[in-house]
A and B are shown apart, each in its own frame.
Chain A
Amino acid sequence: MLEIKDLHAQVNGSEILNGVTLRVNAGEVHAIMGPNGSGKSTLAQVLAGRETYDVTKGEVLFDGKNLLEMDPEERAREGLFMAFQYPVEIPGVSNTYFLKSALNAIRKHRGQDELDAIEFLQLVKERMKLVEMDESLLNRPVNEGFSGGEKKRNEIFHMAVLEPRLAILDETDSGLDIDALRIVADGVNKLKRKDNAIIVVTHYQRLLNYIIPDYVHVLVDGRIVKSGSKELALELEEKGYDWVKEKAEVEEAR
């Protein structure tokens, strides 16, 4: 589904992604871990089409199509979704109004009929339950004045409505309380299907008890220095990142 080959990206001339290679198939869950500043969010943003980052080398294929040539909205319409580490506040635009416009843009692209107000409301009511979202957040301006946890929950609510084929969740767990984490993770699991895939970026093994990954990757200095099964996350929790960093340096030196 997603194929990242030797991806390099810069911001203002400094290299942040340093040759990322990753393959994600339909039905899989991948976890990306790594120290602060290692480039996890940059990778997520580059995949979503953020123009601040210059891709200097490499290739990304999404269902065989060149992802890097697409505008952000085309990527979304093709089924890519990124839950932001820091969801953006949009004063004056109601959450549901925005979501309806987004969903209909995506549906139109897929050749489906646009949903009318009533159909949309039904869908929203149903998907809200999935993440146990408070109804009052629906008509408020997008993320404005939402608590940290509410913002994260709202991201997954958007995901539930838009039903992407590839979802990249950038630290959706941080900011959620213990109960909320379980609820949101359950929601994500319910959205998991054979024909979609999820990449979760996280610092905490705890999330991976709920959303069980098929693969865990460690990103250090803009490169994936180690990949493994879900046990790798436990090992990282125990030992920290230093040992993978050292190992990577040794390999680099060779």
Chain B
Amino acid sequence: MKSITEQAAWYQSVFDALEKSLNGEAQSGFHVLRKKALNRFKEMGFPTTRNEEWKFTNITPLATTPFTPVPAGTVARIAPSAVKHYLIPEAHSLVFVDGHFSRDLSTIGEMPDGVIVCSLAEASRRHAALLERELARHAPGEENSFVALNTAFSLDGAFVSIPDGVRLTEPVHMLFLSTGKPQALIPPRNLFLVGAEGQVSLVETYAALNDGVYFTNVVSELLAGEGALIEHDKLQNESRSSYHISWTHIVQQARSTVTSNLVAMGGSIARSNITTVFEGEKGLCTLNGLTLAAGTQLIDNHTTIDHASPHCESHELYKAVLDGKAHGVFNGKIFVRKDAQKTDAKQTNQTLLLSDDAVIDTKPQLEIFADDVKCTHGATVGQLDADQIFYLRSRGLNLLQAKDMLTFAFAADVVHRIHVESLRERLVSLIHDKLHEGRISS
């Protein structure tokens, strides 16, 4: 499947098969969107490294593999005991297996009046008007192959809606589990609507029960109403042979506060895109990110903060720990539009290279069209500090302990910014495991 024509033909045939299985649903409004998206995908094809946005991330292995969605009837049955370990006990959980919602594995507790937490498929039956209005209206499907591919094939995902003035005290956890089925296309589509002054914590976890060459291609849209307060955490811990491409598109109304925490540590090629657009004044956005990569992993994080309105503030801290022959990419765009006076934007990118063969490509990209603004950015790439290592060793820690302690501290700085307690705890142990894995493979 080397040529673009072959790739287009493949996804057309997969789409035709999907369409047949949809029966009546193929007449729905959303299906019209799907068809349009497929055509758009076929026109664009997968991006190559000639595309500036994909310059450092060669996705040929992904593009040339014939992926296909896992049909609903064939999804493996998973025992609740196998899933428990991935769950966040204090959260409402929506569990998806190979892209399909599993009612048995999910636990959704009592909700305050008006709050909706369900699968997207269920929402499309029960809240059709709401979906019609918001779904696939925000993420840029026209210009983006992966968003288009997701729209074409997405059947399910998570839907969360918080009405005006409501605070959901418990986090909502969306667990996307893969069984590691070879060549599976897993295209979750998530929609989060938070009304004015609404509050919620959302956690997306991507994990795998087994290793396999599968492909998660997810799109999440998050709409933050005026004065809303939202934390969005994403843990990308896919299996080592898999591919993960995700687009998180955030739209912030006036005075809303959104904190996005991304921990990316899985996959053989993984790319996360997080975009936030300030549509109203006095919004606050914090983007924190942590990449942990070892072996031959390629982990790419692209962020875009669009200061389209005045008086908004954004803070960004992206860190990476790279071991073995890992390749990290960071691209941080900050746009300050002509009218966005009094913008305050700060971007920091720090990379710790644990081996001589690890590579980082980092590119801050600030485009400022307003004059009364405060924008700063800084990127550092370094190794562990010899003075610090010696200090720790001189008190009795061995070299490995000293390095681990310093590396962990570097990484934990991001983890500590997460407010969902058991996610934080889980990350602490995952980071320890990951550091250990890096050591074995390098």
Q: Contact check: which of A51, A88, A102 meets B397 at CB < 8 Å?
A: A102
**Complex alpha-carbon distance, A98 and B391, angstroms:** 11
**Complex alpha-carbon distance, A75 and B393, angstroms:** 9
Residues of A within 8 A of B408 (CB): 92
**Complex alpha-carbon distance, A112 and B387, angstroms:** 29
A155 to chain B, nearest CB (A): 10
Which of A8-16, A76-84, A128-136, A180-188 contacts the other chain?
A76-84
Residues of B within 8 A of A91 (CB): 409, 413
B383 at the interface (CB under 8 A from A): no
In the assembled complex, 8 residue pairs joining A and B whose CB atoms fall closer than 8 Å, in A order, are A49-B390, A49-B394, A73-B399, A81-B394, A88-B391, A90-B391, A92-B409, A102-B396
Residues B399 and A71 in contact, CB atoms below 8 Å apart:
yes
Q: Who on chain A is nearest to B407 by CB? A: A92
Residues of A within 8 A of B412 (CB): 92
Q: Contact check: which of A50, A52, A102 meets B395 at CB < 8 Å?
A: A102
**Complex alpha-carbon distance, A143 and B399, angstroms:** 20
A81-B395, A91-B413, A105-B397 provided; 13 other pairs, C-beta below 8 A? A71-B393, A72-B393, A73-B394, A82-B394, A90-B406, A92-B409, A92-B412, A93-B406, A98-B405, A101-B405, A102-B392, A105-B396, A106-B396
A87 at the interface (CB under 8 A from B): yes
A40 at the interface (CB under 8 A from B): no
A233 at the interface (CB under 8 A from B): no
Residues A93 and B396 in contact, CB atoms below 8 Å apart:
no
**Complex alpha-carbon distance, A51 and B387, angstroms:** 10
Residues facing A in B78-94 (CB within 8 A) are none
Encoded as 1 (CB less than 8 Å from any A CB) or 0, chain B from 399 to 416 comes to 101000110111011000
A162 at the interface (CB under 8 A from B): yes
Residues of B within 8 A of A106 (CB): 396
**Complex alpha-carbon distance, A73 and B391, angstroms:** 10
- Knowing A71-B399, A105-B398, the reply to whether A93 touches B393 (Cβ < 8 A) is no
B64 at the interface (CB under 8 A from A): no
Dominant secondary structure of chain B at its interface with chain A:
helix
B21 at the interface (CB under 8 A from A): no
A103 at the interface (CB under 8 A from B): yes
**Complex alpha-carbon distance, A82 and B388, angstroms:** 14
Residues facing A in B31-84 (CB within 8 A) are none
Q: Contact check: which of A52, A73, A87, A92 meets B393 at CB < 8 Å?
A: A73
Q: Who on chain B is nearest to A86 by CB? A: B387
Residues A84 and B391 in contact, CB atoms below 8 Å apart:
yes
**Complex alpha-carbon distance, A71 and B389, angstroms:** 12
Q: Who on chain A is nearest to B412 by CB? A: A92
A158 at the interface (CB under 8 A from B): yes
Residues of B within 8 A of A102 (CB): 392, 395-397
A160 at the interface (CB under 8 A from B): no
**Residues on A facing B (Cβ under 8 Å):** 48-52, 71-73, 75-77, 81-82, 84, 87-88, 90-93, 98-99, 101-103, 105-106, 109, 141, 158, 162
Q: How many residues from B make CB contacts under 8 Å with A? A: 21
Residues of B within 8 A of A51 (CB): 390
Residues A88 and B388 in contact, CB atoms below 8 Å apart:
yes
Residues of A within 8 A of B405 (CB): 90, 93, 98, 101
**Residues on B facing A (Cβ under 8 Å):** 386-388, 390-399, 401, 405-406, 408-410, 412-413
**Complex alpha-carbon distance, A50 and B390, angstroms:** 7
**Complex alpha-carbon distance, A88 and B401, angstroms:** 17
**Complex alpha-carbon distance, A103 and B405, angstroms:** 15
Q: Contact check: which of B392, B398, B399, B410 meets A98 at CB < 8 Å?
A: B392
Residues B413 and A73 in contact, CB atoms below 8 Å apart:
no
Residues of A within 8 A of B398 (CB): 71, 73, 105
Residues B392 and A90 in contact, CB atoms below 8 Å apart:
yes
B126 to chain A, nearest CB (A): 47
Residues of B within 8 A of A73 (CB): 393-394, 396-399
Q: Contact check: which of B388, B396, B406, B409 meets A77 at CB < 8 Å?
A: B396
A84 to chain B, nearest CB (A): 7
**Complex alpha-carbon distance, A152 and B55, angstroms:** 50
Residues B406 and A105 in contact, CB atoms below 8 Å apart:
no
Q: Name which of B391, B399, B405 has the most chain A CB atoms within 10 A of its CB.
A: B391
Residues B395 and A162 in contact, CB atoms below 8 Å apart:
yes
Residues B409 and A90 in contact, CB atoms below 8 Å apart:
yes
Residues A98 and B390 in contact, CB atoms below 8 Å apart:
no
Q: Contact check: which of A50, A90, A103 meets B388 at CB < 8 Å?
A: A90
**Complex alpha-carbon distance, A52 and B387, angstroms:** 10
Residues B391 and A87 in contact, CB atoms below 8 Å apart:
yes
Residues B395 and A158 in contact, CB atoms below 8 Å apart:
yes
> Which A-B residue pairs are the 6 nearest by beta carbons?
A92-B409, A88-B391, A76-B396, A72-B393, A102-B395, A105-B396
B389 to chain A, nearest CB (A): 9
B383 to chain A, nearest CB (A): 15
A72 to chain B, nearest CB (A): 4
Q: Who on chain A is nearest to B416 by CB? A: A92
Q: Who on chain A is nearest to B405 by CB? A: A93
- Knowing A90-B409, A92-B410, A162-B395, the reply to whether A72 touches B401 (Cβ < 8 A) is no
Residues of A within 8 A of B399 (CB): 71, 73
Q: Who on chain B is nearest to A108 by CB? A: B396
Residues B394 and A76 in contact, CB atoms below 8 Å apart:
yes
Q: Who on chain B is nearest to A88 by CB? A: B391
**Complex alpha-carbon distance, A244 and B182, angstroms:** 80
Residues of B within 8 A of A103 (CB): 396
Q: Who on chain A is nearest to B398 by CB? A: A73
